[in-house]
Chains A and B, each alone.
Chain A
Amino acid sequence: MADLTTDFLGIKSPNPFWLASAPPTDKEVNVRRAFEAGWGGVVWKTLGAEGPPVVNVNGPRYGAIYGADRRLLGLNNIELITDRPLQVNLDEMARVKADYPDRALIASIMVPCDEASWKAILPRVAETGCDGIELNFGCPHGMAERGMGSAVGQVPEYIEMVTRWCKMYYDKPVIVKLTPNITDIRGPAKAAKNGGADAVSLINTINSITSVDLDLFAPEPTIDGKGTHGGYCGPAVKPIALNMVAEIARDPATHSLPISGIGGITTWRDAAEFMVMGAGNVQVCTAAMTYGFKVVQEMIRGLSHWMDEKGYTSTADFVGKGVPNVTDWQYLNLNYVAKARISQEDCIKCGRCYAACEDTSHQAIWMHEGRTFEVNDAECVACNLCVDVCPVENCITMERLAPGTVDPRTGRTVPAEYGNWTTHPNNPMAKAAE
């Protein structure tokens, strides 16, 4: 079993799996249970400023999207930051940290966007002995209406300013949590870096309405006939989060900035994918909310097993390993030519590949007598849709045409050398090959 001990910003945890700041980390009782179950770290649910705590709705706070057999694929929430008094949270954090010195404990914070508010809370948080702080610039609902959360995260200048205050008044690592509800994640990431952030964490939840009650004609979750947009999370958001992590990891301006990856991580594989795309560790919420804290045990065993198979002894061995392979479209090799191949042995003759290709793609699959399906290379553009809709894994594969062979679709010989759009003759901006 590979050792999963992870060092993130100098904060050591027995594994890279932290619970994200969210309802599962709102109270001592939850966090103790999480640590007992094996979680490597916890980002305590967001603390607000001293004074009367926020209040939450007393109706439903969550909405859901399901897959087959009511498998939860996406969750949306309209819960605000902690609605318990600040001192209660601080006392509990101090007790938990003292009892679990080997686990990471991070305080998530969201206070008004003025220096005094941050200056006031930071020393009190520091007293708990927690390992660092995470600035909640992400929550898209409720608090944003009051000029906090994503309202800050959507203005890079505010991100930089608040981050700078935190670095001024707090001497442990400062992680800036980013909202995905922006057009280009690199702007906020650069702002965080410029403000002195030690790391960014992303993504926070995505603005969403999960469903509409067709009797009440109201969005869900519905509170007394009305609904509001909430923050979307869970497996459904993983592709969006992965891209944003990769964008920050590969941008020269933010390349060296550590990333805590968040967004739909449910299994060891999801975690490995985030880490390969540049995340130094990962944070999980929906998977725990769906299956309970025990779910981390699959992640721990799975990641460790995969590392053993790959011969990795430390998570540092593969963090960011895939980042060089994330590129712009214009640099993809246009001389790489593939064709779909259907394994007749594995085919169960459902015909979904045929329907998909014939109706919605390139009319490149023949349906023969006896429901056998065959790819017409003269039409196949290797779009991969047949692979994606086939219910049998590996029944349809994409196979590369060897350089030197003729592509029946174009009549051209497949070149051996790499060639991309920047040098393509059809590109009016093409540069001469050097």
Chain B
Amino acid sequence: MTSPFTPGITAGRLTPETLSSNFSDLHAPYDGHEASVAADRCYFCHDAPCMTACPTDIDIPLFIRQISTGQPQAAARTILEQNILGGMCARVCPTETLCEQVCVRETAEGKPVEIGRLQRHATDSVMASNAHPFTRAPSTGKRVAVVGAGPAGLSCAHRLAMLGHDVALFDAKPKPGGLNEYGIASYKSTEDFAAREAAWLMQIGGITLHTGRKLGVDVTLSELQSDFDAVFLGLGLGAVNALTCAGTDRHGVSNAVSFIEELRQASDLAALPIGRNVVVIGGGMTAVDAAVQAKLLGAENVTIAYRRAQDAMPASLYEQELATAKGVRILPNVMPVAIHGNGTCAEIELEYTTTEGGTLKGTGETTRLPADQIFRAIGQTFVPAGTDGPALEHGKIAVDATGRTSIPGVWAGGDCTPGEDLTVVAVAEGRDAAMDIHTTLTGEA
């Protein structure tokens, strides 16, 4: 009988019932009354700080007021006009560092209006009705290639299609959605939400999806430039940063993003192997998503090992607290020195760190943790392969405020461009690029 205490990497540590419960919604959706009580807490602020904090500029006070007056679907329209992936953003946005952080009730009471959950209430009501609230403008006859069906690409494609352009949407993966489909924790996108949202978005019409088409391999940028009136690049980050310590080749060491993707695509969680002692190297959202899910799969001990102080972790305090509440240990100020084991990893050796004069350095003191599975989550890098030349800035595609690259007729947005790598930022960039493409192609503002 397999259990959390079974040594090594093994499947079925928990019963299917426990797994199902563990991977259900992180926050249960509001029922109607809960939503109206939560909505009533909104003060309908003048020039509301939450709106300013939202990368997609959703009129938050207005949509919340629409919920409180009994029209969640009308509220959803207000959201979706600004952010067509408002449903996913309601689930994955770090609202605690965006809209909810600046909510005046956070200032007043330390308890913000729960904007994310209210947004979910509104957008879920539209998804439940399976109605698409927007209609396509008459065809402009213009054709646009959108590369990457992640948040930036989907947002761009929808806006272009709505404005009457014909969109060809390319993605290297077999399904659209990008990180929504492959890269976030399962409990944030239950019941196949990412796929349902992408399908719902396509209801606008005018978008032809081409999956399994990787830029630079199956299609080139120059081909797209000659076949289409405009090109938008909404590419993801192709490479996982390497872990530079001894023993990284040992069995049991892998990338957190691969683990998250495998988990998201798994049809049977009980068949997914996980270690007894899991160590995640890193301090961002990916590290938290991997660590929490490792715990939920039944790992006995899960540790996030982060090289700087805990308050420097890129993962928000909320995410950190989620991790610790699920039983994950956060071990700050440690960096990997070596991974030990005989072919398969058994222990990780960590050196304590300190910051002196702004420089991180080892103290010379080390500790060892049992580790039969180690996930690397120390960041991802954009790989410009296949993009054939737009100028880069800090390793990403340089763009102006409207998403124009150095190559005329080619726009870009999302994680492949500089700026915060957040779903909601990608949605904004895709939308804004679409508006600029539209203006450029039609001369209409």
Contact = CB atoms under 8 A, between A and B. Distances in A.
Interface in B36-52: 36-37, 40, 43-49
Contacts of A349: 45, 49, 104, 107
Contacts of A68: 37, 40
Given A68-B40, A69-B37, A354 B107 contact: no
A391 B40 contact: no
Interface in A340-363: 348-352, 354-355
Contacts of A69: 36-37, 40
A352 B43 CA distance: 8
A350 B33 contact: no
Nearest to A392: B108
B64 to A, nearest CB: 13
Contacts of B107: 348-349
Given A355-B46, A371-B49, A348 B37 contact: no
B251 interface: no
Interface string A366-378: 0100010000000
Main SS of chain B's interface residues?
helix
B45 A351 contact: yes
A120 B107 CA distance: 68
A354 B47 CA distance: 10
The CB with the most chain A CB atoms within 10 A, among B43, B45, B46, B105, is that of B46
B263 to A, nearest CB: 39
A348 B33 CA distance: 27
A70 interface: yes
Contact of B45 (A70, A350, A392): A350
A255 B263 CA distance: 81
Nearest to A359: B46
Interface residues of A, number: 14
B440 to A, nearest CB: 36
Nearest to A395: B108
Interface in A150-174: none
A392 B43 CA distance: 11
B108 A351 contact: no
Interface in B1-54: 33, 36-37, 40, 43-49
A162 B37 CA distance: 50
A348 B49 contact: no
B45 A352 contact: yes
A355 B48 CA distance: 11
A69 B39 CA distance: 10
Contacts of B45: 349-352
Given A68-B37, A69-B37, A350-B104, A391 B49 contact: no
Contacts of A355: 46
A354 B40 CA distance: 20
A55 B284 CA distance: 71
A159 B136 CA distance: 69
Given A69-B37, A69-B40, A352 B46 contact: yes
A350 to B, nearest CB: 4
B40 A350 contact: no
Interface string A69-112: 11000000000000000000000000000000000000000000
A214 to B, nearest CB: 10
Interface in B62-108: 104-105, 107-108
B43 A354 contact: no
A186 to B, nearest CB: 40
B46 A351 contact: yes
A350 B51 CA distance: 12
Contacts of B44: 352
A348 B108 contact: yes
Interface in A54-75: 68-70
Contacts of A354: 46
Contacts of B33: 70
Nearest to B108: A348
A348 B47 CA distance: 13
A350 B37 contact: no
Interface string A296-325: 000000000000000000000000000000
Contacts of B37: 68-69
A281 to B, nearest CB: 35
Contact of B47 (A70, A351, A391): A351
A392 B44 CA distance: 14
20 contacts: A68-B37, A69-B36, A69-B40, A70-B33, A348-B105, A348-B107, A348-B108, A349-B49, A349-B104, A349-B107, A350-B43, A351-B46, A352-B43, A352-B44, A352-B45, A352-B46, A355-B46, A371-B49, A391-B43, A391-B108
Given A352-B45, A352-B46, 8 more contacts: A70-B33, A348-B104, A348-B108, A349-B104, A350-B104, A371-B49, A391-B43, A391-B108
Interface of B: 33, 36-37, 40, 43-49, 104-105, 107-108
Interface of A: 68-70, 348-352, 354-355, 367, 371, 391-392
Top 8 nearest A-B pairs (CB, nearest first) are: A351-B46, A355-B46, A68-B40, A348-B108, A348-B104, A350-B45, A350-B104, A350-B43
